[in-house]
Amino acid sequence: MRILNHTRGEAAGDSADSPVLDIVVTRHDVFDEATLRDTGVLDLYEALFPATERDNSDDIVRWVLSDDVGERRDFEVDGRPMSYRLDSRCMILRAAGRAIGFGFFTYDHASDLIFCNHVGVHKAWRGGGLARAFYREMIDMLDELFPRNIGVMLEVEPFDHGRLEEIITDLERSGRRSLEAHEQAEIRKFLRVSWYHKLGHSFFCDACMMKPLLCRSPCLDPSLPSSAWAGAEEDYWLMWHARTGALPPAMNAGDLWQTTVATIYVEILAKSLVDEDPGSRRDYWEYATALVARTLQRTAATETNLASYLAPGDSPLLSRWRRLAIDLPI
Protein backbone atom coordinates (compact mmCIF):
# COMPACT_ATOMS: atom_id res chain seq x y z
CA MET A 1 0.00 0.00 0.00
CA ARG A 2 1.22 3.50 -0.81
CA ILE A 3 -0.21 6.80 0.42
CA LEU A 4 -0.93 9.24 -2.39
CA ASN A 5 0.58 12.60 -1.52
CA HIS A 6 -2.07 14.97 -2.81
CA THR A 7 -3.90 17.98 -1.40
CA ARG A 8 -7.21 16.28 -0.78
CA GLY A 9 -8.97 19.57 -0.03
CA GLU A 10 -8.84 20.33 -3.76
CA ALA A 11 -10.89 17.25 -4.56
CA ALA A 12 -14.14 15.84 -3.26
CA GLY A 13 -14.53 15.58 0.48
CA ASP A 14 -13.09 19.06 1.10
CA SER A 15 -12.70 19.08 4.87
CA ALA A 16 -10.20 18.41 7.60
CA ASP A 17 -11.82 14.99 7.96
CA SER A 18 -11.16 13.94 4.37
CA PRO A 19 -9.99 10.32 4.22
CA VAL A 20 -6.41 9.39 3.51
CA LEU A 21 -5.95 8.34 -0.10
CA ASP A 22 -3.91 5.19 -0.68
CA ILE A 23 -3.03 2.93 -3.60
CA VAL A 24 -3.08 -0.86 -3.43
CA VAL A 25 -1.80 -3.22 -6.11
CA THR A 26 -2.86 -6.73 -7.07
CA ARG A 27 -0.44 -9.44 -5.97
CA HIS A 28 1.34 -6.91 -3.78
CA ASP A 29 -1.46 -5.85 -1.44
CA VAL A 30 -4.49 -7.63 -2.95
CA PHE A 31 -4.05 -11.39 -3.41
CA ASP A 32 -7.52 -12.90 -3.90
CA GLU A 33 -10.71 -12.30 -5.84
CA ALA A 34 -12.90 -11.58 -2.82
CA THR A 35 -10.59 -8.81 -1.59
CA LEU A 36 -10.33 -7.34 -5.09
CA ARG A 37 -14.09 -7.23 -5.53
CA ASP A 38 -14.61 -5.84 -2.02
CA THR A 39 -12.67 -2.70 -2.96
CA GLY A 40 -15.45 -1.83 -5.41
CA VAL A 41 -12.95 -1.35 -8.24
CA LEU A 42 -14.86 -3.55 -10.70
CA ASP A 43 -18.10 -1.69 -9.98
CA LEU A 44 -16.28 1.60 -10.59
CA TYR A 45 -14.82 0.23 -13.83
CA GLU A 46 -18.29 -0.70 -15.10
CA ALA A 47 -19.66 2.70 -14.08
CA LEU A 48 -16.95 4.66 -15.89
CA PHE A 49 -16.66 2.75 -19.17
CA PRO A 50 -19.49 1.84 -21.57
CA ALA A 51 -19.95 -1.87 -22.24
CA THR A 52 -18.42 -1.57 -25.71
CA GLU A 53 -15.12 -0.38 -24.19
CA ARG A 54 -14.89 -2.80 -21.26
CA ASP A 55 -13.16 -6.11 -20.84
CA ASN A 56 -15.09 -8.81 -19.02
CA SER A 57 -14.64 -8.32 -15.27
CA ASP A 58 -14.05 -12.03 -14.71
CA ASP A 59 -11.27 -11.92 -17.29
CA ILE A 60 -9.63 -8.99 -15.53
CA VAL A 61 -9.71 -10.88 -12.22
CA ARG A 62 -8.11 -13.88 -13.89
CA TRP A 63 -5.43 -11.84 -15.66
CA VAL A 64 -4.29 -9.83 -12.64
CA LEU A 65 -4.44 -12.63 -10.07
CA SER A 66 -3.65 -15.93 -11.80
CA ASP A 67 -2.81 -15.79 -15.52
CA ASP A 68 -0.49 -12.82 -16.15
CA VAL A 69 1.81 -13.27 -13.16
CA GLY A 70 5.19 -12.84 -14.83
CA GLU A 71 5.70 -16.51 -15.63
CA ARG A 72 6.39 -17.90 -19.09
CA ARG A 73 3.39 -19.56 -20.71
CA ASP A 74 3.84 -22.10 -23.50
CA PHE A 75 1.32 -23.40 -26.00
CA GLU A 76 1.20 -24.77 -29.55
CA VAL A 77 -0.66 -23.66 -32.64
CA ASP A 78 -0.90 -26.37 -35.28
CA GLY A 79 2.25 -28.00 -33.89
CA ARG A 80 4.22 -24.74 -33.72
CA PRO A 81 5.51 -23.89 -30.22
CA MET A 82 4.61 -20.43 -28.88
CA SER A 83 5.41 -18.65 -25.66
CA TYR A 84 4.84 -15.31 -23.96
CA ARG A 85 5.44 -13.75 -20.56
CA LEU A 86 3.13 -11.06 -19.21
CA ASP A 87 2.55 -9.40 -15.84
CA SER A 88 -0.77 -7.59 -15.41
CA ARG A 89 -1.53 -5.38 -12.42
CA CYS A 90 -4.55 -3.45 -11.24
CA MET A 91 -3.68 -0.38 -9.16
CA ILE A 92 -6.54 0.86 -7.03
CA LEU A 93 -6.84 4.35 -5.58
CA ARG A 94 -8.90 4.17 -2.38
CA ALA A 95 -10.60 6.63 -0.04
CA ALA A 96 -11.67 5.08 3.25
CA GLY A 97 -11.02 1.64 1.76
CA ARG A 98 -13.26 2.09 -1.30
CA ALA A 99 -12.06 2.42 -4.88
CA ILE A 100 -12.25 5.93 -6.33
CA GLY A 101 -9.77 5.29 -9.15
CA PHE A 102 -7.89 2.51 -10.89
CA GLY A 103 -5.29 1.72 -13.52
CA PHE A 104 -4.94 -1.60 -15.34
CA PHE A 105 -1.49 -2.21 -16.88
CA THR A 106 0.29 -5.13 -18.56
CA TYR A 107 4.07 -5.51 -18.71
CA ASP A 108 5.53 -7.58 -21.54
CA HIS A 109 8.85 -9.18 -20.56
CA ALA A 110 9.90 -9.74 -24.18
CA SER A 111 9.87 -6.06 -25.17
CA ASP A 112 10.12 -4.40 -21.72
CA LEU A 113 7.07 -2.32 -22.66
CA ILE A 114 4.10 -1.52 -20.42
CA PHE A 115 0.63 -1.38 -21.97
CA CYS A 116 -1.92 0.90 -20.34
CA ASN A 117 -5.25 -0.91 -20.72
CA HIS A 118 -7.59 1.37 -18.73
CA VAL A 119 -7.34 4.31 -16.32
CA GLY A 120 -10.27 5.93 -14.52
CA VAL A 121 -11.13 8.16 -11.57
CA HIS A 122 -14.59 8.64 -10.04
CA LYS A 123 -16.04 11.92 -11.31
CA ALA A 124 -16.52 13.24 -7.75
CA TRP A 125 -12.75 12.98 -7.18
CA ARG A 126 -11.37 14.64 -10.30
CA GLY A 127 -10.79 18.11 -8.89
CA GLY A 128 -7.43 19.64 -8.17
CA GLY A 129 -5.45 17.46 -10.53
CA LEU A 130 -6.03 14.27 -8.55
CA ALA A 131 -6.29 12.13 -11.70
CA ARG A 132 -2.93 13.39 -12.96
CA ALA A 133 -1.29 12.88 -9.56
CA PHE A 134 -2.68 9.34 -9.39
CA TYR A 135 -1.46 8.49 -12.90
CA ARG A 136 2.05 9.77 -12.21
CA GLU A 137 2.18 7.85 -8.95
CA MET A 138 1.16 4.67 -10.77
CA ILE A 139 3.95 5.18 -13.31
CA ASP A 140 6.47 5.56 -10.47
CA MET A 141 5.16 2.34 -8.91
CA LEU A 142 5.38 0.51 -12.24
CA ASP A 143 9.01 1.63 -12.58
CA GLU A 144 9.69 0.03 -9.20
CA LEU A 145 7.83 -3.17 -10.08
CA PHE A 146 9.44 -3.46 -13.52
CA PRO A 147 12.83 -1.74 -13.40
CA ARG A 148 13.72 -2.92 -16.92
CA ASN A 149 10.72 -1.26 -18.56
CA ILE A 150 11.48 1.35 -21.22
CA GLY A 151 8.11 3.10 -21.33
CA VAL A 152 4.31 3.04 -21.47
CA MET A 153 2.20 2.59 -24.59
CA LEU A 154 -1.55 2.98 -25.08
CA GLU A 155 -4.31 3.10 -27.68
CA VAL A 156 -6.57 6.08 -28.33
CA GLU A 157 -9.43 6.26 -30.80
CA PRO A 158 -8.92 8.67 -33.73
CA PHE A 159 -11.00 11.82 -33.55
CA ASP A 160 -12.23 14.09 -36.32
CA HIS A 161 -11.39 17.81 -35.98
CA GLY A 162 -14.25 18.91 -38.21
CA ARG A 163 -16.80 16.83 -36.35
CA LEU A 164 -15.63 18.23 -33.02
CA GLU A 165 -16.08 21.77 -34.30
CA GLU A 166 -19.62 20.97 -35.46
CA ILE A 167 -20.65 19.40 -32.14
CA ILE A 168 -19.25 22.16 -29.93
CA THR A 169 -20.66 24.93 -32.15
CA ASP A 170 -24.12 23.34 -32.06
CA LEU A 171 -23.99 23.02 -28.26
CA GLU A 172 -23.01 26.68 -27.93
CA ARG A 173 -25.77 27.88 -30.26
CA SER A 174 -28.56 25.62 -29.03
CA GLY A 175 -27.82 25.80 -25.31
CA ARG A 176 -28.67 22.12 -24.95
CA ARG A 177 -26.92 20.17 -22.19
CA SER A 178 -27.41 16.60 -23.34
CA LEU A 179 -25.35 14.89 -26.00
CA GLU A 180 -26.25 12.08 -28.35
CA ALA A 181 -24.22 8.89 -27.91
CA HIS A 182 -22.19 9.52 -31.08
CA GLU A 183 -21.42 13.07 -29.92
CA GLN A 184 -20.27 11.85 -26.52
CA ALA A 185 -18.00 9.31 -28.20
CA GLU A 186 -16.34 11.96 -30.40
CA ILE A 187 -15.78 14.40 -27.52
CA ARG A 188 -14.37 11.62 -25.31
CA LYS A 189 -11.79 10.72 -27.95
CA PHE A 190 -10.55 14.31 -28.04
CA LEU A 191 -10.53 14.73 -24.25
CA ARG A 192 -8.58 11.51 -23.73
CA VAL A 193 -5.91 12.58 -26.20
CA SER A 194 -5.69 16.01 -24.55
CA TRP A 195 -5.31 14.42 -21.10
CA TYR A 196 -2.54 12.04 -22.14
CA HIS A 197 -0.75 14.88 -23.90
CA LYS A 198 -0.69 16.79 -20.63
CA LEU A 199 0.93 13.77 -19.03
CA GLY A 200 3.75 13.84 -21.58
CA HIS A 201 2.60 11.18 -24.03
CA SER A 202 3.38 11.54 -27.73
CA PHE A 203 1.96 10.04 -30.92
CA PHE A 204 3.74 7.85 -33.40
CA CYS A 205 3.44 10.14 -36.41
CA ASP A 206 4.17 10.10 -40.12
CA ALA A 207 7.08 12.57 -40.13
CA CYS A 208 6.10 13.95 -43.57
CA MET A 209 2.35 14.31 -43.03
CA MET A 210 2.65 15.05 -39.28
CA LYS A 211 -0.38 12.86 -38.63
CA PRO A 212 -0.61 9.85 -36.29
CA LEU A 213 0.01 6.46 -37.84
CA LEU A 214 -3.14 4.37 -37.98
CA CYS A 215 -3.14 0.91 -36.45
CA ARG A 216 -5.90 -1.68 -36.86
CA SER A 217 -6.74 -3.91 -33.92
CA PRO A 218 -7.95 -7.46 -34.54
CA CYS A 219 -11.34 -8.60 -33.31
CA LEU A 220 -11.16 -9.22 -29.56
CA ASP A 221 -13.63 -12.12 -29.54
CA PRO A 222 -12.29 -15.29 -31.21
CA SER A 223 -15.53 -17.10 -30.31
CA LEU A 224 -17.41 -15.11 -32.97
CA PRO A 225 -17.80 -16.73 -36.39
CA SER A 226 -14.69 -16.02 -38.45
CA SER A 227 -16.89 -14.19 -40.96
CA ALA A 228 -17.62 -11.60 -38.23
CA TRP A 229 -14.01 -10.91 -37.21
CA ALA A 230 -13.32 -8.21 -39.79
CA GLY A 231 -16.46 -6.33 -38.76
CA ALA A 232 -15.27 -6.23 -35.14
CA GLU A 233 -11.89 -4.66 -35.90
CA GLU A 234 -11.09 -1.16 -34.63
CA ASP A 235 -8.73 1.61 -35.74
CA TYR A 236 -6.46 3.24 -33.18
CA TRP A 237 -3.69 5.76 -32.83
CA LEU A 238 -0.88 4.69 -30.51
CA MET A 239 0.65 6.97 -27.90
CA TRP A 240 3.92 6.54 -26.06
CA HIS A 241 5.75 7.87 -23.02
CA ALA A 242 9.38 6.87 -22.53
CA ARG A 243 10.80 6.10 -19.14
CA THR A 244 13.49 8.72 -18.51
CA GLY A 245 16.84 7.50 -19.82
CA ALA A 246 15.52 4.00 -20.53
CA LEU A 247 15.14 3.96 -24.33
CA PRO A 248 18.05 2.13 -26.00
CA PRO A 249 20.04 4.64 -28.11
CA ALA A 250 19.90 2.34 -31.14
CA MET A 251 16.08 2.20 -31.16
CA ASN A 252 14.60 4.94 -33.34
CA ALA A 253 10.91 5.87 -33.54
CA GLY A 254 10.32 3.55 -36.49
CA ASP A 255 11.81 0.57 -34.66
CA LEU A 256 9.81 1.46 -31.56
CA TRP A 257 6.59 1.68 -33.61
CA GLN A 258 7.13 -1.79 -35.04
CA THR A 259 7.89 -3.22 -31.59
CA THR A 260 4.92 -1.46 -30.00
CA VAL A 261 2.43 -2.73 -32.58
CA ALA A 262 3.72 -6.31 -32.34
CA THR A 263 3.73 -6.20 -28.54
CA ILE A 264 0.15 -4.96 -28.15
CA TYR A 265 -1.51 -7.04 -30.85
CA VAL A 266 0.57 -10.23 -30.91
CA GLU A 267 2.35 -10.70 -27.57
CA ILE A 268 -0.42 -9.33 -25.35
CA LEU A 269 -3.63 -9.75 -27.37
CA ALA A 270 -3.35 -12.62 -29.85
CA LYS A 271 -1.19 -14.97 -27.79
CA SER A 272 -3.28 -14.66 -24.63
CA LEU A 273 -6.55 -15.18 -26.56
CA VAL A 274 -5.25 -18.19 -28.48
CA ASP A 275 -3.70 -19.70 -25.34
CA GLU A 276 -7.20 -19.95 -23.84
CA ASP A 277 -8.07 -22.61 -26.44
CA PRO A 278 -5.12 -23.28 -28.79
CA GLY A 279 -6.67 -26.41 -30.26
CA SER A 280 -9.54 -24.56 -31.91
CA ARG A 281 -8.09 -21.09 -32.48
CA ARG A 282 -5.52 -21.73 -35.22
CA ASP A 283 -7.64 -19.77 -37.70
CA TYR A 284 -7.89 -16.84 -35.32
CA TRP A 285 -4.09 -16.86 -34.84
CA GLU A 286 -3.55 -16.76 -38.60
CA TYR A 287 -6.11 -13.99 -38.99
CA ALA A 288 -4.76 -11.79 -36.15
CA THR A 289 -1.09 -12.12 -37.04
CA ALA A 290 -1.80 -11.48 -40.74
CA LEU A 291 -3.68 -8.28 -39.85
CA VAL A 292 -0.77 -7.07 -37.70
CA ALA A 293 1.69 -7.97 -40.45
CA ARG A 294 -0.27 -5.80 -42.91
CA THR A 295 -0.05 -2.82 -40.55
CA LEU A 296 3.69 -3.29 -40.16
CA GLN A 297 4.17 -3.73 -43.92
CA ARG A 298 2.11 -0.65 -44.72
CA THR A 299 4.16 1.54 -42.37
CA ALA A 300 7.59 -0.07 -42.86
CA ALA A 301 8.80 2.59 -45.31
CA THR A 302 7.20 5.51 -43.45
CA GLU A 303 9.54 7.94 -41.75
CA THR A 304 8.24 7.91 -38.19
CA ASN A 305 8.71 10.32 -35.33
CA LEU A 306 7.22 10.91 -31.89
CA ALA A 307 5.26 14.15 -31.75
CA SER A 308 2.22 15.95 -30.42
CA TYR A 309 -0.92 15.88 -32.51
CA LEU A 310 -3.07 18.71 -31.32
CA ALA A 311 -3.62 21.09 -34.21
CA PRO A 312 -3.45 24.88 -33.59
CA GLY A 313 -7.25 24.99 -33.53
CA ASP A 314 -7.54 22.31 -30.86
CA SER A 315 -6.65 24.44 -27.84
CA PRO A 316 -9.51 26.90 -28.52
CA LEU A 317 -11.82 23.93 -29.03
CA LEU A 318 -10.79 22.54 -25.65
CA SER A 319 -11.41 25.93 -24.01
CA ARG A 320 -14.81 26.20 -25.66
CA TRP A 321 -15.74 22.72 -24.48
CA ARG A 322 -14.74 23.55 -20.90
CA ARG A 323 -16.83 26.72 -20.93
CA LEU A 324 -19.88 24.58 -21.69
CA ALA A 325 -19.33 22.92 -18.27
CA ILE A 326 -20.87 19.64 -19.37
CA ASP A 327 -19.85 16.67 -17.24
CA LEU A 328 -18.59 13.92 -19.52
CA PRO A 329 -16.39 11.21 -17.97
CA ILE A 330 -13.52 10.18 -20.22
Cross-strand pairs, 105:
89, 116
Please give the full DSSP string across 97-149, using - where no structure is assigned.
TEEEEEEEEEEETTTTEEEEEEEEE-GGG-GGGHHHHHHHHHHHHHHHH-TT-
Among residues 268, 261, 265, 258, the alpha carbon closest in space to that of 288 is found at 265
pLDDT of residue 52: 77
**276 burial class (0-12, 13-18, 19+ CB within 10 angstroms)?**
middle
Chain segment 127-141, per-residue pLDDT in tens: 778 999 999 999 999
1-149 to CATH, choices 3.30.1380, 2.60.40, 2.60.120, 3.40.630: 3.40.630
Contact 94, 23 (CB under 8 A): yes
Q: Which residues contact 137 (CB under 8 A, 6 or more apart)?
A: 2, 4, 23
Q: pLDDT under 70 in the chain at which residues?
A: 6-18, 245-251, 310-314
Residue extents of the structural domains in the chain: 1-149, 150-330
- Residue 171: the pLDDT is 93
Alpha-carbon distance 14 to 271, whole Å?
46
pLDDT score, position 112: 95
pLDDT of residue 247: 58
Give tens-digit pLDDT for 271-324. Answer: 999 999 998 999 999 999 999 999 999 999 999 999 887 655 567 888 889 899
